[in-house]
Structure 1
Amino acid sequence: MSVKSNLDKLKNQIGIKRCVILEGNVNDIYQTNSGYVGLKDRLFGLLREKGFNDIFMWDRIDGLSGGNLKNLTLTVETQQKSKEGEAYDFGQEVIKNANEEKNGPTGKFPTLAEFFTIVRRNMLVASSKKAAFIADFSDYLFSNEQTLSEEERVNLISLSKAFRDKKFDQSEIIDFDTAIIFITNSVGKLPTSFYLHNPDVTTITLTKPNREEREKFILTNKNFFKITEDLNTDILKLQDIYDTMEGWTLKEVYQLIKFSNNISERLPFEKLLNSYQYGDKVSPWEEMNYEKLATIEKELKKRVIGQDHAIEKVKNVVYKAFTGLSGVQYSSKRTKPKGTLFFVGPTGVGKTELAKALAKFLFGDEKNCIRFDMSEYNQEASDQKLIGAPPGYVGYEEGGQLTNAIKEKPFSVLLFDEIEKSHPRILDKFLQILEDGRLTDNKGQTVTFSDSFIIFTSNIGASEVDDNLSFLEIEKQFIQKVSDHFRTELKRPELLGRIGNNIIPFNFIKDINFKAKLITQKLQPIQTAVWEKYKIKLEFLELPQILPIIIHDADDKKGGRDLLNSIEKHVVDGLSSFIFANQTKFKAGETILAQANGHQIEYCFK
Structure 2
Amino acid sequence: MNYVNSTKPRWLRDLVRFLPLKSQFVLTGNVRDLQTQEVGAETVAAVPLVHSLDVELKSCGYANVVVFTPTAGFGFASPHSSGDIDTVLANIGLASEPTSGIGLEWLSGVLEGFVQSKGPPAALIVDFASRLVNRADALSAAEQMLFTRALIASHSARSRPTGPDRKPLFNTVIWIAERESDLPDWLTVDNPKIRHIPLPLPDNIVRKSLASALLGGLPEARDVSEEEFDKARNAFVNHTEGLLLSDLNSIAQLGRNEGLSVRQISDAVRRYKVGVTEDPWRRIDRTKIASADEFIKSRVKGQQHAATHMLDIIKRAITGIGRSEGNGRPRGVAFLAGPTGVGKTELAKTVTSLLFGDESAYIRFDMSEFSAEHADQRLIGSPPGYIGYDAGGELTNAIREKPFSVVLFDEIEKAHPRILDKFLQILDDGVLTSGRGDRVYFSEAIILFTSNLGIYAADPISGQRIANVSPQDPHEVVTSRVREEIERHFKLVLNRPEILNRIGQNIIVFDFIRPDVAAQIFEQIMNSLLEQTASLGYTVSISNEAMTTLRELCLTDLTNGGRGIRNMVEANLANPLSRALFDSGEPEGTFVITEVVSGPVPKVHLSPGKP
Q: Do both proteins adopt the same fold according to a TM-score greater than 0.5, normalized to the shorter chain?
A: yes
Check if 1:305 corresponds to 2:297: no
1:118 to partner: Cα distance: 3.3
Give the Cα–Cα distance (whole angstroms) in 1 for the partners of residues 197 and 219 of structure 2: 37
Distance 1:396 1:48, change over 3 A: same
Name the aligned partner's letter for residue 580 of structure 1. Answer: F
Q: How far apart are residue 508 of structure 1 and its match?
A: 2.8
SS of residue matched to 1:523: helix
Distance in 2 (alpha carbons) for counterparts of 1:317 and 1:164:
65
Cα separation, 1, equivalents of 2:8 and 2:566: 58
From 58, 61, 69, the counterpart of 1:59: 69
TM-score (normalizing by structure 1): 0.83
Tell me, in whole angstroms, the C-alpha distance in 1 between the residues paired with 2:582 and 2:510: 40
Aligned positions of 1:70-89 closer than 5 A? 70-73=90-93
Matched with 2:503 is 499
Aligned match of 1:142: 133
C-alpha contact 2:31 2:178 (8 A) present in aligned 1: yes
Are the structure 2 counterparts of residues 541 and 243 from structure 1 closer, same or farther at C-alpha, using a change threshold of 3 Å? farther
Q: Quick check: 2:28–2:198 contact (8 Å CA) kept in 1?
A: yes
- Pairwise CA distance, 1:50: 3.0
Q: CA deviation at 1:598?
A: 5.3
- How far did residue 211 of structure 1 move? 3.6
1:245 matched to 2:240? The reply is: yes
CA 1:546–1:443 in 2, change beyond 3 Å: closer, same or farther?
same
CA contact (8 A) 1:6 1:206 kept: yes
1:225 aligns with 2:218: yes
The amino acid across from 1:504 in the alignment is I
Q: How far is 1:315 from its partner?
A: 1.6
Give the 3 Å change call, closer, same or farther, for CA 547–319 of structure 1 in structure 2.
Answer: same
Letter aligned with residue 25 of structure 2: V
Choose 245-254 or 309-318, whichever is displaced more: 245-254
Residue 163 of structure 1 pairs with residue 154 of structure 2 = yes
Is the Cα contact below 8 Å between 2:405 and 2:444 reproduced in 1? yes
1:513 maps to which of 512, 516, 522: 516
Question: How big is each residue's C-alpha offset from its partner over 1:513-540, in whole Å with a ceiling of 9 and x where there is no partner?
Answer: 22222222233432343344x1434444
Counterpart of 1:378 (choices 371, 384, 388) is 371
Q: Which amino acid aligns with 2:287?
A: E
Q: Is contact 2:537-2:588 (8 Å) kept?
A: no
Give the distance between the partners of 1:431 and 1:573, measured in 2 at CA.
Answer: 46
Question: 1:595, 1:363 → 2: CA distance?
Answer: 43
Aligned-partner SS, 2:168? coil
Distance 1:544 1:120 in 2: 97
Distance in 1, Cα, partners of 2:25 & 2:540: 77
Shifted more, 396-405 versus 595-604: the winner is 595-604
CA contact (8 A) 2:125 2:173 kept: yes
SS of residue matched to 1:47: helix
Q: Does 1:5 align with 2:10?
A: yes
| Rounded Cα–Cα distance in structure 1 between residues aligned with 2:567 and 2:143 | 65
Alpha-carbon contact 1:348-1:562 (below 8 Å) kept: yes
**1:16 partner amino acid:** L
Q: 1:498 to 1:174 in 2, by over 3 A?
A: same
**Please, what is the CA RMSD of the aligned residues?**
3.5
The 3 A distance-change label for structure 1 pair 321 and 423 is same
Q: Deviations over 1:144-188 (max 9, x none)?
A: 34443333233332222333456899xxx9634443322233334
Quick check: 1:52–1:131 contact (8 Å CA) kept in 2? yes
Change (3 A) 1:256 1:448: same
TM-score by length of 2: 0.82
The answer to whether structure 1 residue 255 and structure 2 residue 250 are counterparts is yes
- Would you say the 8 A contact 2:255–2:265 is kept in 1? no
Which of 284, 289, 294 does residue 288 from structure 1 map onto?
284
- C-alpha spacing 1:476/1:150, structure 2 compared with 1 (3 Å): farther
Given that 1:208 and 1:249 are in contact with CA atoms closer than 8 Å, whether structure 2 keeps it comes out as yes
Question: What CA distance in whole angstroms lies between the structure 2 residues aligned with 1:583 and 1:264?
Answer: 69
Return the match for 1:316 from 312, 336, 344. 312
| Cα deviation, residue 119, structure 1 | 3.3
Which residue of 175, 178, 182 corresponds with 2:168? 175
Indicate how the Cα distance of structure 1 residues 62 and 597 shifts in structure 2: closer, same or farther if over 3 A, else same: closer
Structure 1 residues 384 and 144: alpha-carbon distance in aligned structure 2, compared to 1, 3 A threshold: farther
Tell me the SS of whatever aligns to 1:33. strand
What do residues 391-449 of structure 1 show as CA deviations (whole Å, max 9, x unaligned)?
33211222111111012211111111222222332233211111221223233332211
Structure 2 residue aligned with 1:575, among 574, 577, 580? Answer: 577
Mean alpha-carbon deviation: is it higher for 364-373 or for 418-427? 418-427
How much does 1:104 deviate? Answer: 7.0
Question: What do the CA deviations read for 1:105-146 (whole angstroms, capped 9, x no partner)?
Answer: 86xxx22243245334444x3857433222211231222344
The answer as to whether partners of 1:297 and 1:312 remain within 8 angstroms in 2 is yes
Q: Deviations over 1:264-307 (max 9, x none)?
A: 89896677667667777754311124422212332222221122
Say if 1:64 and 1:373 are closer, same or farther in 2 by CA, change over 3 A: same
- Is 1:483 the counterpart of 2:478? The answer is no
Return the letter of the residue paired with 1:496. L
Alignment pair present for 1:22 and 2:27: yes
Whether the aligned pair in 2 keeps the contact of 1:131 and 1:178 (CA below 8 Å) is: yes
- Conserved in 1, the CA contact under 8 Å of 2:260 and 2:268? no
Is 2:44 the partner of 1:44?
Answer: no
| Paired residues of 1:119 and 1:133 also in contact (CA < 8 A) | no
Query: Which residue identity is paired with 1:560?
Result: G
Query: Which AA in structure 2 matches 1:140?
Result: R
1:246 maps to amino acid: E
Query: C-alpha deviations, 1:455-503, integer Å up to 9, x for none?
Result: 1222223222222433222212222222222222222222222111112
User: What residue ranges of structure 1 are gaps of 5+ in the alignment?
Assistant: 75-97
Q: What CA deviation, in whole Å up to 9, does each residue of 1:564-598 have, x standing for no partner? A: 322221122112212322353524xx4x4445535
Is residue 2:452 matched to residue 1:459? yes
The code of the aligned residue for 1:505 comes to: V
Equivalent residues of 2:159, 2:169 under 8 A apart: no
2 CA distance for matches of 1:280 and 1:249? 19
Query: For 1:410, what is the secondary structure of its paired residue?
Result: coil
Give yes or no for contact 1:363–1:411 (8 Å, CA) kept in 2.
Answer: no
Check the 8 A contact 2:273/2:441 in 1, yes or no: no
Given that 1:416 and 1:456 are in contact with CA atoms closer than 8 Å, whether structure 2 keeps it comes out as: yes
2:569 partner letter = I
Q: Closer, same or farther in 2 for the Cα pair 1:479/1:69, shift >3 Å? A: same
Unaligned runs of 5+ in 2: 1-5, 40-44, 77-84, 161-165, 458-467
SS of corresponding position for 1:20 = strand
Instruction: Find 2:89's aligned residue among 69, 92, 98.
Output: 69
Task: Report how many residues are paired.
Answer: 567
3-state DSSP of counterpart to 1:175: strand
Which residue does the alignment assign to 1:90?
none
2:568 matched residue in structure 1? 566
1:472 aligns with 2:460: no
The answer to whether the Cα contact below 8 Å between 1:132 and 1:179 also exists between their aligned partners in 2 is yes
Change (3 A) 1:273 1:53: closer
Q: Deviations over 1:521-566 (max 9, x none)?
A: 233432343344x1434444444542221123x561x333322322
Mean CA deviation greater in 515-524 or 337-346: 515-524
Identity %: 30
Q: Which amino acid is 1:71 matched to?
A: N
Alpha-carbon shift at residue 23 of structure 1 (Å): 2.4
